[in-house]
Structure 1
Amino acid sequence: MAEEIRRTTLSLPTVVPAVAIRDVVMFPGMSLPLSVDREKSIAAVELALNTPEKYILAVSQKNAEIEEPKESDIYHFGVIAQITQNLKMPDGSMKIFLQGLARARVTKLEMNDVAGSWFATVEYIEEEEDDSPVVQALMRKVLDEFDHYARVSHRIAVEGVSFLRQINDPSKLADTVASNMLVKASQRQEILEAVHIKDRLEKILKLITSEVEILGLEEKIHSKVRAQIEKNQKEYYLNEQMKAIQKELSQKDDFQKELDSLRAKVKKNGLPPHAKEAAEKEIERLSKMAPFSPEATVSRTYLDWLVNMPWNKTTEDVLDLKEAKRILDEDHFGLEKPKERILEYLAVSKLTNSLRGPVLCFAGAPGVGKTSLAKSIARAIGRKFVRMSLGGVRDESEIRGHRRTYIGSMPGRIIQGISKAKSSNPVFLLDEIDKMGSDWRGDPAAALLELLDPEQNKEFTDHFLDVPFDVSKVMFITTANSLANIPSTLRDRLEIIDFDGYTEYEKHDIVDKYLLPKQMKMHGLKEGQLEVTYDAVSLLMRDYVREAGVRNLEREIGSLCRKASKMIVDGAKKVTVTKENLHEFLGVPKYSNFATEENGVGIATGLAWTSVGGETLSIEATKLPGKGQLILTGMLGNVMKESVRAALTYARSRGYGEGIDFDKTDFHVHFPEGAVPKDGPSAGSVITTALTSLLTGLPVKKHLAMTGEVTITGRILPVGGIKEKFLAAYREGVKTILYPHTNEKDVSEVPERVRKEMTLIPVKHMDEVLPLALEGWKEFEAKLQKKAHAKKRGAQKHKKAAQTVKKAAAKKSARPAKKTAKKASKSRSARQTASARRKGARRK
């Protein structure tokens, strides 16, 4: 608190935090529940709670509508109270319970800026006891009038008056009566400020008498108004009541028809026993409800969903592999591996007469045909198709449904999709499964565990339906861009089918067979009015769109069609787009082939995998005078930062950078496109190459890129996304790629045409990478070895000279040692001779 609480002889504080209350006046002995939501009041309550007795001054506002009262807006007469109970609400407000103790006159009221609340300096009024006959007469009169007041007002329990008759203390009686009267706050305040008990009782008696008179007048006025109601007005009311009764009777008939219709649907739709029992029970409950009550609305909604679910409705599967293959090839070009897996799935289903099996997960970059392939599967086997996007879903009830606890509750989107399909065995696509979230409303990924488990989903229970529904007949297919964002427990239930990006040659065929005819039709162009040459499409893919899929490619084709449509309308008969005039249609190129031309000293090109396909990654390194710091820029993650440190450690351990004072040199490694986050364990080899190039001054060869993680001893570790990385390098015009030796098995997934046009070199160690990546490495290595040999010979000469000096010193020190040993030998012989003589003498 701002200052220490000082206390009087009554053990009550003279300086206390104050809280302004509205629409009520507190009295001593009165218990008052209070809701506190203003910041100043909350601060005052918290200060009071931090004291042992929890005292606080309760003073009333003069005007209850003022939100931030000043000192002039508050009465300077209140009650010192004790906080007996308190509760902190989620919105920051507080609920407290005050117990009034004593009257207090405020001598000073000021705002403490540090505490953020009102502080009041108070003095207490010592009430004199008065048992005079006048006071006793006033007490009886007050009790009688208050009894009359309670009976007339109908707002106060009459039984409470008998409790008041047991109070002998006139002050306590006056305060209790005043606190129970329903009068204005200003009138209560006058009673509170009446210090002498006689004056207080007189004021209360006067106020009660006035209120009784007013209540009597109100009753007379009300009686007169009722007596003045005219006959025609009575008839109007009676007619309106008659209409309401007739309408209610008609509604009852309609309601009964509705119940009969629901019972007929239960029998007709062939619900399983458990669902039929639940429906009949709910219809019985609905029949006892008011037709337009909120509960009846919830019950109707529930019965509509329950009765209209396709419990036994299915579509017949068409398991013709040739026809399925024809449809898949008709809708999609390429994607041989996913198509083959789908045909295998259908073949097994045909032999087992069941489409139950693992849940397929199509994983790949955007625009490679994951969603459209799921549609083609539904068309190939003759099933209904349902799609549910999981991107951004954070609420578990989106999967399991809302409980029937409020109006507007609905089933989950799984049950909604099946109901919309009107079939219990549709192809259900759960799109973007890797983009779900979770918060305080639950984890949707955990809710999918039961749904996607073939051993559990026979009795999938939606919270709204509250009865099991068999979803084992549903063919669930999921899609994802990145598997890393799928929880491991959910991923365990999925069979992953990778959708690799299209090669440039495949995109040419897709443009010719699918995209260009589709866009020409959409833009009103007839066959022959627009021609896009092969070279123009190649330049389009290199300068304007770089993606694994074809979504952006289709947008650019659409842009060409729009330009052509305008030219046709202006009078042109045919529009031809060539390599030379493509820029006139699409504007300035969006991309440039930096990877093939900019390699040099400290600059190298790596390969990276992203959720939208492969990318080339340029890395630049430079050195400058400093304090031996390593500066990293380019929005790198922790893994790539550690790769840079490991690469520098390896380069220094091999002796590269001779003549460089590492303690006085800073190294700056930069990854361009700094606004794009970068992380992953596949850039170690290219970072090591760039730093080695910087330390040795040897330029990195052009038209070369690499991938692979590196240890501090130089070993090359395997990486993922080989196909996507190689396709990105091919798109950039890279001629040579260095990749980890352990990834040779993955190279077979790269299209044969790409492999033939590029030089792919597997490597195991940085000792193999540097000669292939740096120009002039052999000469540098020979020079380095020559220096190492010279250093070794110098060390051997130094060692030999040291050994010679050591031998000479040993010989010199050996001479006096021999003399000393000779003397010691003579001394031992003399002692032995004397001892022998003494022994012979003793024998004699």
Structure 2
Amino acid sequence: METQLPLLPLRGVLLFPYMVVPLEVGRERSLKALEQAMLGSQELIFVAQKDTRLDEPHEDDLYRVGIIGEVKQLLKMPTGGAKVVVEGRSRAIIHKITDEGTYFEALVEAVAEDNEITDETEALMHAVVDLFELYIKNSKKMPGEASLSMNVDDPGRLADTIISYLDIRTAEKQEVLEIFSADERLKKVSDILSRQMELLEIEKRINIRVRKQMERTQKEYYLREQLKAIQKELGEADDHLGEVEELRQRLAETQGLTDEIREKISREIDRLAKMPTMSAEAVVVRNYVDWLLNLPWGIETDERVDVAEAERILNEDHYGLKKVKDRILEYLAVRQLSQSLKGPILCLVGPPGVGKTSLARSIARATGRNFVRVSLGGVRDEAEIRGHRRTYVGALPGRIIQGMKQAGSKNPLFLLDEVDKMAMDFRGDPSAALLEVLDPEQNSHFSDHYIEVPFDLSHVMFITTANVLHTIPKPLLDRMETIVIPGYTEEEKLHIALQYLWPKQMENHGLKPDMVEISQHAIADVIRHYTREAGVRQLERQLGAICRKVAREIVQGYQGTVRVTVNNLEKYLGPHQVHHRTKESQDEVGIVTGLAVTEAGGDVMPIEVTTMPGKGHLNLTGQLGDVMQESARAAYSFIRSRAREFGIDPSFHETLDLHVHVPEGAIPKDGPSAGIAMATAMVSALSNIPVKSQIAMTGEITLRGHVLPVGGIKEKTLAAHRAGIREIILPKENESDLEDLPRNVRRSMQIHLVEHLDEVLEFALTEKIVREEIAPQK
């Protein structure tokens, strides 16, 4: 039977049959519906709204099954609302909702309850009652009167009563309300109770875990307070515990630690907490924990990958050095495209003073990395690299870990200076310990004997410096990318002095531009006649000496600008200190201009040969090394084997002695590169044909007269150019080295590339050799 009743929407609450529920009514439409009901049968249809956030629901926002209820008590509030007590009568299906303007009205049909009880119904009732009893026992939120609901005999009413007590969502309760069959309703309630029991079990486990944690924390706090009280009674300071707490706090704040390392540090802190404050072991543990916490496990600086900016910085700090700058810019370009690239390991090789260390600082500035430098010169203990074990008194980490702590980030630029000057003794080989450091495949788990946990070095950009390569062990050299920095040319030194050294020395000595001027020719004169080096250190010292004398003049009352020129340079630096050799003034017999490489760069080296009556002895003087002496003997043997072709008496070795001398006998000389020069001088002395004075040469000779390649082509060629020589002879296989020569040097010199001594003699001797024809053998 359909009935028209006022409709009252419920928000966040649900009404079930046979239940008495107090409600607060505050919305205008609800109050109007309540008034309309009180004028009639005092019955309303109570319907839950789907969205509890809506203040003014529409008919689409309401469910289609509700409860017909009767108002038992009404109390109007002074604020305008009302409190009512409502009793649910029966379920009802809503067929139509009408908006009456000030309230809703609904056409409803009451649903009769199915009270038939079967065996299955009884079984369901018992199961639901047992579950509910268990739920009441485990839940602390259930009211005391909830247990009374289990005495209900009506299956439908039992389901409605139990569901009303459960703390579940309104939508789930509405689902139960919309089930008209008592058996189906009981099954639904049973499912909901089972799920609630599972949630209670989970909540119980969580509560137990939290309670245990709280009990442990409280226990620790209680014991620590007891310990503080005991120490106070004994007269001991409690700074120790405060320090331990500080270490725990630092451990909690340290980022980038693996679980293994964090656990190890935590164990060490626990050990420290149990030790007496002044014990020796406590000091060791405290230092160890300090070192671990001070390392940059997860700190990384932002790397600059702007290639244009990096190029500007490198050019601003250094003149020339194109190969090194190109390599760094290539690395940054790749980093801009791929962040997974590991840091390069570069080895800068060159003579002292060419700017290897300062170049590393510039690279750090250009890439935005922190800079740390470690000098390896004279290091002979493997523990300097890997550290000492903590069992030793005063043990410390190695220089690598110390450098990482100093850098303060895990991706610094790490300079290993003078890597060629390490030594080894009974304490181990430090170069062998560096193999792991400088291997990109291994250094991600670098192991230091002191810290005993792996440290990641794969993000570090390592740069090593060396003066020579032959003292670096081959396995270590294989792990590095070698970049050779040759000595500077005079033109490069002039640019460096004008752009960097002179302004720097003026600033260091308190001079301003209006106080002193130095001419470009004066600096060139300082380079040529007061320094003899591949780098610019001595040049900087000489410029500093000029600044000191100028500063003295100004302090003593000189007015105006001091001008330093070529004419008055001796006033500041004294007479010329370096006299460079020049080419021979005229063509002479037995004198050849050779080319050599020294620590100061390239140099010309005259080689003299003379003959004298004797029995074929070969005398070698000038403090020649073993290799150079062997080259002289090889040249002598080749000339003996080809004497007739060179127009020389084949029996000269029976009647003549040869004396080969290289001037500056106090300076040791060695190497094979003077081979063709000594051979040419011998042929000239034996054939009495002069050697051209304007030609210089370098190259190794074999017993068959072949010319082999040598090193230092750039330095040797620049030395010849400086000496005024405009024609040189080089091995054919050294042709690729000519690319390194400055353009102006290549343009001003004639270079002959040879493969055999016969070609050398054609270029070097003033006359062609009159070759004696060799009669064919019969």
Please tell me the TM-score bracket, short chain as reference: 0.5 to 0.7
Question: How much has 1:317 moved relative to structure 2?
Answer: 1.0
1:259–1:287 contact (8 Å) kept in structure 2:
yes
The Cα shift of 1:665 comes to 3.9
Task: State how far apart, in whole Å, the 2-side matches of 1:558 and 1:660 are.
Answer: 61
Within 5 Å, give how 1:68-83 maps onto structure 2.
Answer: none
Residues 642, 675 of structure 1: CA spacing in aligned structure 2 closer, same or farther, 3 A cutoff?
same
Residue 649 of structure 1, CA deviation: 1.1
2:388 partner SS: coil
> Contact conserved, 2:640 with 2:650, CA < 8 A, in 1?
no
Q: How does 1:533-682 map to 2 (within 5 A)?
A: 533-572=519-558, 573-597=560-584, 600-655=588-643, 657-658=648-649, 661-663=652-654, 665-682=656-673
Q: Distance in 2 between matches of 1:478 and 1:249?
A: 56
Amino acid of the structure 1 residue aligned with 2:564: V
What CA distance in whole angstroms lies between the structure 2 residues aligned with 1:592 and 1:704?
Answer: 20
- Tell whether the 8 Å contact from 2:343 to 2:462 is kept in structure 1 after alignment: no
Which residue does 2:685 correspond to in 1? 694
Alpha-carbon distance between aligned partners in 2 of 1:645 and 1:717, rounded to the nearest angstrom: 16
Matches for 1:24-63 after TM superposition, within 5 Å: none
C-alpha distance in 2 between matches for 1:605 and 1:708: 12
Determine if contact 1:424/1:471 at 8 Å carries over to the other structure: yes
User: Which residue does the alignment assign to 2:733?
Assistant: 742
Structure 1 CA distance for aligned equivalents of residues 380 and 604 of structure 2: 34
Question: Counterpart of 1:275?
Answer: 261
Match of 1:439 in 2: 425
Q: CA deviation at 1:633?
A: 2.6
Identity, in percent, stands at: 55
Of 355, 372, 382, the match for 1:396: 382
Distance 2:651 2:561 in 1: 66
Deviations 1:123-169 (A, max 9, x none): xxxxxxxxxxxxxxxxxxxxxxxxxxxxxxxxxxxxxxxxxxxxxxx
For normalisation by structure 1, the TM-score amounts to 0.62
Could you tell me which runs of 5 or more consecutive residues in structure 1 were left unpaired when the two chains were aligned. Answer: 1-244, 800-844
Distance in 2 separating the partners of 1:669 and 1:512: 44
1:230-268 alpha-carbon deviations (Å, 9 max, x no partner): xxxxxxxxxxxxxxx999934352222222222222112
- Cα separation, partners in 2 of 1:322 and 1:478, compared to 1, 3 Å: same
1:419 maps to what in 2?
A: 405
Other-structure match for 1:363: 349
- Cα 1:604–1:684, aligned 2, differ >3 Å: closer, same or farther? same
Determine if contact 2:232/2:238 at 8 Å carries over to the other structure. Answer: no
1:568 deviation in Å? 2.2
Q: Which moved more, 1:467-476 or 1:295-304?
A: 295-304
Superimposed CA distance per residue, residues 24-72 of structure 1 (whole angstroms, 9 cap, x where no aligned partner): xxxxxxxxxxxxxxxxxxxxxxxxxxxxxxxxxxxxxxxxxxxxxxxxx
- Contact kept? 1:481, 1:611, Cα under 8 Å: no
Shift in CA distance, 357/261, structure 1 to aligned 2, threshold 3 Å: closer
User: Deviation per CA, 1:698-725, whole angstroms, max 9, x where unpaired?
Assistant: 3332232111101122111111221121
SS of the residue corresponding to residue 689 of structure 2 reads coil
Partner of 1:718: 709
- Which string of whole-angstrom CA distances, capped at 9 and with x for unpartnered residues, describes residues 404-462 of structure 1? 12221110011111101111111101111111111111111111111111111111011
Closer, same or farther: CA 259–536 of 1 in aligned 2, 3 Å: same
Question: Is 1:728 the counterpart of 2:719 in the alignment?
Answer: yes
CA distance in 2, matches of 1:639, 1:251: 75
Query: Partner letter of residue 249 of structure 1?
Result: L
Secondary structure, aligned partner of 2:236: helix
Report the CA distance between 1:464 and its aligned residue.
0.6
Question: What one-letter code is carried by the residue in structure 2 that aligns with 1:699?
Answer: P
Cα distance in 2 between the residues matched to 1:314 and 1:743: 45
- What is aligned with 1:314? 300
Distance 1:504 1:262, change over 3 A: same
Q: How does 1:247-286 map to 2 (within 5 A)?
A: 249-251=234-236, 253-270=238-255, 271-286=257-272
Residues 1:538 and 1:597: Cα distance change in structure 2 (over 3 Å) = farther
Question: In the alignment, is the contact (CA less than 8 A) between 2:533 and 2:599 conserved in 1?
Answer: no
Whole-Å separation in 2 of the counterparts to 1:663 and 1:250: 102
How far off its partner does 1:362 sit? 1.3
CA contact (8 A) 2:344 2:461 kept: no
1:488 aligns with 2:474: yes
Q: CA deviation at 1:543?
A: 1.6
Partner of 2:362: 376
Counterpart Cα distance in 1 of 2:622 and 2:287: 55
Distance 1:350 1:699, change over 3 A: same
Aligned counterparts of 1:612 and 1:288: Cα–Cα separation in 2 = 63
| Contact 2:521–2:566 (CA under 8 A) maintained in structure 1 | yes
* Paired residue type of 1:387: R
User: In the TM superposition, what whole-angstrom CA distance separates every residue of 1:99-120 from its partner, at most 9, and x where no partner exists?
Assistant: xxxxxxxxxxxxxxxxxxxxxx
2:106 equivalent in structure 1: none
Secondary structure of 1:330 counterpart: helix
Alignment CA distance shift 1:627-1:281 (3 Å): farther
Relative to the length of structure 2, the TM-score reads 0.67
SS where residue 392 of structure 1 aligns?
coil
Greater per-residue helix proportion: 1
Question: Is 1:398–1:413's contact at 8 Å kept on the other side of the alignment?
Answer: yes
Equivalences for 1:768-779 in 2 at 5 Å?
A: 768-775=759-766, 777-778=767-768
| Structure-2 change in CA distance of 1:648 and 1:569 (3 Å) | same
Q: CA deviation at 1:508?
A: 1.7
**2:64 corresponding residue in structure 1:** none
**Could you tell me whether the CA contact under 8 Å between 1:424 and 1:473 is conserved in 2?**
yes
Determine helix, strand or coil for the equivalent of 1:282.
helix
